[in-house]
Amino acid sequence: MKTIYYKLIDIELWFYDGKNFPKLLPNEVFSDHIDNKFTKHQFNKIEVDIKNDLKKSGYLVYSIMNPLYLDSQTTVISVDIIHNKHTVNKLKSNPPIKIEENLEILLKKHQKRLDEIFSHGDGSLERFRKNGILFSKDKQLYDLEIQISQISTDNISQITKALLNSNSLTWLQSLQWTEKSQNMINVYLEKLKNSNEQEINIILLQLIPLIDNSSNSFKKHLTDIILNNLLIFPSSTVRNKAMSILSEIPKYTPNNRYFIDFIKTQANSKQLNCSYPAKEILGALNSGCQEPHEVDA
């Protein structure tokens, strides 16, 4: 079985102060890694080294994103750093129940299959949309997604109630392949303001396919949450997905120097998941499509 080597194009250091949009810091200290090729496993050591080096400089690494583009066999590492530990309000955890255990088993199998594809390339990461839901084209992934969807759909009321009172990544992951009611969407919007990185990321992933057919009030509400909560959250994974959403609904983005400068920095990134939506937003800003909008600065 072949091993995939990924060329490291760049290492981006994003600093978050918890109040303003993140700033891009110089990365010369890590230049020796750039333009070299590494396996998925080797990147784990590089990430540990990055964390240790930044810790010596007084920074705390909150998150690292390393997307591994399988088609081009390249990657750009984004490191999200802060001075103080970032916290989110902790909701209570419900006692584990049988359906959660079953879902966890299936989700672990799903992640294992994804890891195999990233490491060896023996499968597809492409997806297709069905009833507003993104399913995998890879047969093994698809079969697992259908099983997870069936369990989640059969227990949707219980899952929704659990989400209202607790943080549960298992519930959120399982709902990826389940049709969303308006009640569920409202729960998601509220949880975006008070969840951790993994939970926010999985919620955004599920909201993206729904945007085209959503109401203007939903789009405006989601834009406000992105501008005032998610773009200052110390996670490139969250920021990139939030930017992708803004590129789909630029009508409500602000057209001021503070926001434009931030978007221009994103557009210059070597990471396509960052630069592409930023360039789309800049195009919309230049066309003057915005409505009057205020954002906390």
User: Residue 293 above 60 pLDDT?
Assistant: no
User: Residue 295 above 50 pLDDT?
Assistant: no
pLDDT on residue 249: 92
Q: How confident is the model at residue 82 (pLDDT cuts 50, 70, 90)?
A: very high
Q: Are the C-beta atoms of residues 94 and 167 closer than 8 Å to each other?
A: no
User: Residue 90 above 60 pLDDT?
Assistant: no
Q: Label residue 63 exposed, middle or buried (CB < 10 Å: 0-12, 13-18, 19+).
A: buried
pLDDT on residue 120: 83
pLDDT on residue 296: 45
- Architecture of the structural domain at 6-82: Roll (3.10)
> Which residue would you say has higher pLDDT here, 120 or 203?
203
> Which residue would you say has higher pLDDT here, 254 or 7?
7
Instruction: Dump pLDDT digits (tens) for 250-292.
Output: 988 988 899 999 999 999 999 999 999 999 999 998 887 666 5
Q: What percent of the chain has pLDDT over 70?
A: 91
Q: Which pTM does this prediction carry?
A: 0.84
Per-residue burial over 201-226, b if 16 or more Cβ lie within 10 Å, else e, is bbbbbbbebeeeeeeeebbeebbbbb
Q: How confident is the model at residue 85 (pLDDT cuts 50, 70, 90)?
A: low
Strand partners, 76: 10
Q: Where are the domains of the chain?
A: 6-82, 89-194
User: Residue 84 above 90 pLDDT?
Assistant: no
Tell me the two tokens of residue 203: 């919620």
User: Residue 246 above 80 pLDDT?
Assistant: yes
Quick one: average pLDDT of 212-227?
93
Q: What is the pLDDT of the chain when averaged over all its residues? A: 88
Q: Are the C-beta atoms of residues 54 and 79 closer than 8 Å to each other?
A: yes
Between CA 231 and CA 191, with CA 174 as vertex, the angle to 5 degrees is 35
User: Residue 94 above 70 pLDDT?
Assistant: no
User: Residue 95 above 80 pLDDT?
Assistant: no
Instruction: Dump pLDDT digits (tens) for 41-55.
Output: 999 999 999 999 999
